[in-house]
Structure 1
Amino acid sequence: MNGTVVFDPFLPWPVLYALGAVALVMLGLAIWRGLSGWWLRGLSLAVLLLALANPALQEEDRAPLSDIVIAVVDESASQRIGDRPAQTAEALAAVGAEVAALENTELRVVRLADAPEDGGTQLMTALSEALAEEPRARVAGAILITDGQAHDVPLAPQMPAPLHVLLTGKESDWDRRLVVKNAPAFAILGEPFTLTLRVEDQGAVPASAGLTADLSISVDGGEPQSYRVPVGEDLDLPVTLPHGGMNVLQFQVAGVEGEITDRNNAAVVQINGVRDRLRVLLVSGEPHAGERVWRNLLKSDASVDLVHFTILRPPEKQDGIPVSELSLIAFPTRELFVEKIDEFDLIIFDRYRLRGILPTSYLENVRDYVKNGGTVLVAAGPEFGTADSLWRSPLAEILPVEATSRVIEGGFTPTLTDLGRRHPVTEGLEELAPEGGWGRWFRQTELAARGGQVVMTGAGDRPLLVLDRVEEGRVAVLASDHIWLWGRGYEGGGPQLELLRRLAHWMMKEPDLEEEALTATAEGQRLTITRRTIGEAPGEVTITAPDGSETSLPMPEAGPGRYAVEWDAPEMGLYRLEQGDQQAVIAIGPAAPKEFEETIASADRLRPVLEATGGGVLRLEEGAPDVRSVRAGRVAAGRGWIGITPRDAYLTQDIRVAALLPGWLYLALAALLMLGAWLREGRFTRRARA
């Protein structure tokens, strides 16, 4: 039971204050006039004011509530190093026993795992959430069992009681780690860039660790190359990406005996290789209605450098115009086809015919350019079946078709072959057809395919678009010059821009348009594996995890020529994928997880928060601490002990309110005091004067 005096005035408090002021004035006037009963008058006024304030006695029936101690247990990845799990378990058991021995005290345990998306150890967030679930008036203290590597210290809550840290790990711990400082997300193919690496030691480093380390580097899971590098110095490593698309670079430092973990001795960096400027050479044999199709396509892409020349006046034309007046400058054919031909990513011959403008030696250079990795696209018109066709030049050696010298005139609708429905250049184009299907074309050069891949057919199922690989390079032949009808929307048109865009990018060896490819993407730890093929259905894909374990998964068909499967990776690191002759690598998680950036146990980050609450730090290797009760504001930690502050919280079960005195008694007291003042100032005063 607990009793207190409360007031429930009959008049508002401002009115009572005003009456009190009037009473003081009257009392002052009585004193000024020398009335001997002024003090009795004052008491009577005070009794009347007290009666108006209506004092009452409030009695509460209270039930005491237990104090709460919050224990936040760090179970993040860095807490699973060495014997820290055992230290954590023993410390939690000891704290539980100590708190249980205290009178009227409970323990709340909160377990903390790794934050999603490499958020590290959100220790303060977990403490804030635990405090929000408990009445702050009952929290007597909080204990963090951790290695001290918290990544959200600025979010520390205001503590109503002492906060302590029980530190895992050992003072003799040391670790060697690899740091990648400035890995870009993108890099330009063919241009070197600099990666800055650093091998550094932390903690109580022994002399036997040495001043140098063995660093190995591998690209896309290939054979690693090893180097001897100094420890504790920045290393500027020049890197040139070998191919477009995602490049996976793995760096690893050899482990040293005695370090607490080798989990941070490796780093995986994924860099997307992009082309800076695509150089395209477009040679138009003569002006025609579809000439601007290629020019508009290539000029619309800001990343393309286009060199285009059109033969407007063939040499055989005899009109008497002096040669000096045919052009302002001579076109640099020798520079383009001899000196700088290897600088082009793609060469397009648009309705070109042999007229002696490009010597045979120049076309031989084009042939060799393709064999060495270049790409050529031939957009054929009626000239392709004539005697001056490119098919009768040195390029015939690399072309996958033969000309029959026949030109088919008449309407036809281009059609995808079964192979074309699976090939990445033409896959899904039928879904882009307007209502009623694609529009017709009206001219096609008859070709006989002698190799390559026929992905589209035209009139009479004759080859219309043929793709081929020639040694290191690629060749494509389009047997019609009427694709521009699609761009004009004739009979609804067709996917002209998409087809030409894919065709150009396939020829320039974009990874997304490879016919045979095994790729993977990661979202969190969910791995999506995709297999593209124009052949038979592939078998299972084999996944090799960072620890060397293998998992085989079947790949169901997800579309024509496309097979896919999703899989949850059990841990972060580099995964190797293999299916037949296709291989790929992918990194799950960040290049360097936050949990392993700092692995040496230290409470330096948390000390400012602890000092503000009077708490302290105790190392668990010295033994579990005692838990004591201390008064608020006192030091709450010492050698071998930590303190909590009892809060004496309670729950009010019942309240009883009774008037302090009955109303008639106030009136009687006031009347008696007034009567005493009258007697004092009247009869007794006159008697004193007599």
Structure 2
Amino acid sequence: MTALTQLRFDPALPWWAIAALAALAALVAGFALWRGLRGWAWRGLAGLAAALALAGPALELGTRAGLSDIVILLDDRSSSQRLPGRSAQVDQAVEDLSAQLSALPGTEVRRLTVGDDADGTLLATALTRATAAEPDARLAGVIAVTDGRLHDPAMLPTQLPAPLHVLLTGQPQDWDRRLVIEEAPAFGLIDQEVTIRLRVEDQGDVPEASRTGSVNLRLSLDGEDAQSFAVPMNTSLTLPVVPSHAGQNVVQIFVDAEPGELTERNNSAAISINGVRDRLRVLLVSGEPHAGERTWRNLLKSDAAVDLIHFTILRPPDKFDGVPVSELSLIAFPTQELFLDRIDDFDLIIFDRYRVRGILPPDYYANIARYVQEGGAILVSAGPEMASVESLNLSPLGRILPARPTGRVIEEPYLPRLTEDGQRHPVTAGLPGAGEDPDWGRWLRMAEVTPDPGAQVAMTGADDSPLLILDRVGKGRVALLTSDQVWLWGRGFEGGGPQLELLRRIAHWSMKEPELEEEALLADISDGLTVRFTRRTMAENAGPLVVTQPDGSEVQVPLTEEGPGRFTAEWTAPEPGLYRLQDGDLRRVLALGPSAPREFEETVADAPLLAPLVKASEGSVQHLSEGVPDLRQVRAGRATSGSGIGGNWIGITPRDAATVTGLERRPLLPGWAWLVLISGLILTGWLAEGRRGRA
């Protein structure tokens, strides 16, 4: 405790009035002096005393208590600080500095720990909040034990009221090699080349043996065998990649690790490129005009992602009615161009009530079969012609169709129903109104067929005869609808049904859309590292799902049946990185966050982002590899770091802050004393001018 005395004023009149009175007194004294009056000085003092009395002078007596200094000790415990040797350096530095600070009288320590964050090391944010929470008058210093790598430099304050000392972890010989992805596309057209721009660079004190002009780079797409390339160091490269399928295409890029580098976590990258189709090209061939012909056309025309070419055969070639050729059609049916020259340009071919009437030669049908086996798709929407001698089954195309007609056409009302396979297959699973007794309208006609053993019957009609049959042939797909009555749903017959949804699913399954794959393993990232796995399968059971983590360890995740053919599980990954999923023969690769978190993008200890603030606050950057520096108290304006006989040292500046704990105000003189003083001065002036004054 210390005493504090100050002179204060409590004026009885405005200051301008008091100033005017003092000026008048000085003017009167001056006039008296000019006239040669002996009492001029006493009269002037009397006027000034009156002005001072009106100003209300008082003594303010207070007690002052000193406040302790505050030092912020910030230690970085992010992932990069767990590299070999760094944790021990942090522990030792924090322990030594805490002991030295505790030994200083009148000093408080504010301990602050910075950990991992989804956005990296937010050291600047923590530093700004810590300093803002303390009064500038008490802050004596800030000490940060870190590797200097922070990811929020914009949050750094421009100035500090006390020196900032940065104590860097690591060793002088540290070095690291890293893969930098400069630019990567989020989307790419299927079977069209996209480019990834990258570079490989070294940081730190690279050993002579590792200073090579090139490095081995390996690339893998969706977990397939990796391809190797020799690429130059410290040079931006353009790497071409071709997305092979719709949905997520995961590109893995690796750089061979070198002995002695800090970590291998930043030697790889996983890039997810969402494969999309430019436009789905569909060829629709209608064998004859009928009530449901426009159903397919309206469906496909309403989809902006579909390019549709539609031909309707209005007049078979065996019809002779004497109509001139010039009046038969606007254009000729380009059979050779469509079914030989340009057939591979189409994603799907639909035969709608098509009859074999000699329009297409047998070689054309064989070419269509070849097109399907190499990855194409056909969809046959059949009517009574399926059971006739003009059936497509009797052409070379029949060997890839999933069913054989019995020759019988069933013409009676029936209600389409889902089979057990249909309840699991994504084409028909969950159709609106489906159930044991579907809330749909009836159809009136269908062709009876016998499905092939390997085909999947998704819907049945009259007498449980197959209505919708799906099959895979080679790399392609075939769908067969054995009735032409689906248009009744669109017309609302007996309440109608999900016509557009069913036909859309059939068409998009045929074109290999990922969301309609019957054997699929999906992973939806919901929040951070939380993943929801969905396994679709035609089998009765699935799982457990085997998850291979970035460190090579395996975890088995059990799957729970959520519905027919649908099994799900929720799982939280322990860290960002590249994960491999496997259930039986089904595999996929999942990238959670960056394969190398931000903590491992740059691992060599350095403080380029903190250096401006260190300089502005007159602090220092020290290396813990040289030992923990001693701590000293230095006056403001003196050097705050240096090297002595015992090693390096850093300084904090005592602030001598205090607070007033008590306050009392006493008038300089009581009122009567002022009256006596002023009267005495006036009387003395009068006597000085009178006879007694002259005597």
Q: Deviations over 1:437-463 (max 9, x none)?
A: 233333333333234111122334332
Residue 190 of structure 1: aligned partner: 191
Residue 481 of structure 1: aligned partner: 484
Which one of 500, 512, 516 corresponds to residue 497 of structure 1? 500
Matched, 1:559 2:558: no
Instruction: Summarize the alignment of residues 408-557 of structure 1 with structure 2, pairs less than 5 Å apart.
Output: 408-430=410-432, 437-451=439-453, 452-522=455-525, 523-557=527-561
Partner-residue secondary structure (3-state), 2:535: strand
Q: 1:104 to 1:288 in 2, by over 3 A?
A: same
Q: Amino acid of the residue matched to residue 549 of structure 2?
A: A
Q: Deviations over 1:337-371 (max 9, x none)?
A: 01111121100011111222222221121112112
Q: Deviations over 1:109-128 (max 9, x none)?
A: 21111221xx1211110112
Q: Deviations over 1:33-91 (max 9, x none)?
A: 53644543443344334333333333333333221111111111222222111111111
Matched, 1:168 2:176: no
Q: What is the rounded CA distance, in whole Å, between the counterparts of 2:685 and 2:444 in structure 1?
A: 129
Residue 291 of structure 1: aligned partner: 293
Which one of 663, 667, 672 corresponds to residue 659 of structure 1? 667
Cα distance, 1:436 vs structure 2: 9.1
Residue 139 of structure 2: aligned partner: 139
Q: 1:426 to 1:663 in 2, by over 3 A?
A: farther
Q: Deviations over 1:534-593 (max 9, x none)?
A: 112113111111212111121111222111112222222211122211112212221443
Residue 126 of structure 2: aligned partner: 126
Partner-residue secondary structure (3-state), 1:621: helix
Farther off after superposition, 21-30 or 308-317 = 21-30
Residue 677 of structure 2: aligned partner: 669
Residue 578 of structure 1: aligned partner: 582
Aligned partners of 2:18 and 2:55 also within 8 Å: no
Q: Deviations over 1:310-332 (max 9, x none)?
A: 11223344332111232333232
Q: Amino acid of the residue matched to residue 487 of structure 1?
A: G
Q: Amino acid of the residue matched to residue 467 of structure 1?
A: L
Q: 1:664 to 1:221 in 2, by over 3 A?
A: same
Farther off after superposition, 390-399 or 162-171 = 390-399
Residue 153 of structure 2: aligned partner: 153
Instruction: Summarize the alignment of residues 582-593 of structure 1 with structure 2, pairs less than 5 Å apart.
Output: 582-593=586-597
Q: What is the rounded CA distance, in whole Å, between the counterparts of 1:7 and 1:51 in structure 2?
A: 13
Residue 313 of structure 2: aligned partner: 311
Aligned partners of 1:216 and 1:226 also within 8 Å: yes
Aligned length: 682
Identity of aligned residues (%): 55
Residue 650 of structure 1: aligned partner: 658
Q: What is the rounded CA distance, in whole Å, between the counterparts of 1:85 and 1:487 in structure 2?
A: 70
Farther off after superposition, 566-575 or 647-656 = 647-656
Q: What is the rounded CA distance, in whole Å, between the counterparts of 2:275 and 2:304 in structure 1?
A: 18
Which one of 252, 262, 265 corresponds to residue 260 of structure 1? 262
Which one of 71, 90, 93 corresponds to residue 91 of structure 1? 93
Q: 1:656 to 1:325 in 2, by over 3 A?
A: same
Q: Amino acid of the residue matched to residue 524 of structure 2?
A: T
Q: 1:379 to 1:101 in 2, by over 3 A?
A: same
Which one of 345, 348, 365 corresponds to residue 347 of structure 2? 345
Matched, 1:620 2:624: yes
Aligned partners of 1:528 and 1:566 also within 8 Å: yes
TM-score (structure 1 length as normaliser): 0.93
Q: 1:625 to 1:391 in 2, by over 3 A?
A: same
Which one of 100, 103, 113 corresponds to residue 101 of structure 1? 103
Q: What is the rounded CA distance, in whole Å, between the counterparts of 2:43 and 2:616 in structure 1?
A: 55
Q: Deviations over 1:633-660 (max 9, x none)?
A: 3332223111111122334433333333
Residue 178 of structure 2: aligned partner: 177
TM-score (structure 2 length as normaliser): 0.93
Q: Amino acid of the residue matched to residue 621 of structure 2?
A: V
Aligned partners of 1:16 and 1:49 also within 8 Å: no
Residue 50 of structure 2: aligned partner: 48
Q: What is the rounded CA distance, in whole Å, between the counterparts of 1:416 and 1:38 in structure 2?
A: 124
Aligned partners of 1:176 and 1:200 also within 8 Å: yes
Farther off after superposition, 440-449 or 549-558 = 440-449
Cα distance, 1:258 vs structure 2: 2.0
Q: What is the rounded CA distance, in whole Å, between the counterparts of 1:29 and 1:47 in structure 2?
A: 14
Q: What is the rounded CA distance, in whole Å, between the counterparts of 1:680 and 1:461 in structure 2?
A: 140
Cα distance, 1:432 vs structure 2: 8.1
Partner-residue secondary structure (3-state), 2:485: coil
CA RMSD of aligned residues (A): 2.4
Q: 1:30 to 1:467 in 2, by over 3 A?
A: same
Q: 1:493 to 1:682 in 2, by over 3 A?
A: farther
Aligned partners of 2:29 and 2:41 also within 8 Å: no
Aligned partners of 1:7 and 1:53 also within 8 Å: no
Aligned partners of 2:419 and 2:458 also within 8 Å: yes
Q: What is the rounded CA distance, in whole Å, between the counterparts of 2:40 and 2:23 in structure 1?
A: 11
Q: What is the rounded CA distance, in whole Å, between the counterparts of 1:376 and 1:159 in structure 2?
A: 72
Aligned partners of 1:411 and 1:440 also within 8 Å: yes
Partner-residue secondary structure (3-state), 1:429: coil
Q: What is the rounded CA distance, in whole Å, between the counterparts of 2:17 and 2:462 in structure 1?
A: 109
Q: 1:509 to 1:670 in 2, by over 3 A?
A: same
Residue 404 of structure 2: aligned partner: 402
Cα distance, 1:333 vs structure 2: 1.2
Farther off after superposition, 590-599 or 250-259 = 590-599
Aligned partners of 1:72 and 1:144 also within 8 Å: yes
Q: What is the rounded CA distance, in whole Å, between the counterparts of 2:83 and 2:11 in structure 1?
A: 71
Q: 1:394 to 1:613 in 2, by over 3 A?
A: same
Aligned partners of 2:71 and 2:142 also within 8 Å: yes
Aligned partners of 1:412 and 1:458 also within 8 Å: yes
Q: Deviations over 1:412-471 (max 9, x none)?
A: 3322222212111112113689x9923333333333323411112233433221111112
- Structure 1 portions without partners, runs of 5+: none
Q: What is the rounded CA distance, in whole Å, between the counterparts of 2:284 and 2:243 in structure 1?
A: 28
Q: What is the rounded CA distance, in whole Å, between the counterparts of 2:611 and 2:692 in structure 1?
A: 77
Matched, 1:208 2:209: yes
Instruction: Summarize the alignment of residues 4-23 of structure 1 with structure 2, pairs less than 5 Å apart.
Output: 4-5=5-6, 7=8, 9=10, 11=12, 15-23=14-22
Aligned partners of 1:250 and 1:268 also within 8 Å: yes
Q: What is the rounded CA distance, in whole Å, between the counterparts of 2:155 and 2:691 in structure 1?
A: 78
Which one of 363, 366, 369 corresponds to residue 367 of structure 1? 369
Q: Amino acid of the residue matched to residue 351 of structure 2?
A: F
Aligned partners of 1:163 and 1:615 also within 8 Å: yes
Q: What is the rounded CA distance, in whole Å, between the counterparts of 2:477 and 2:293 in structure 1?
A: 22
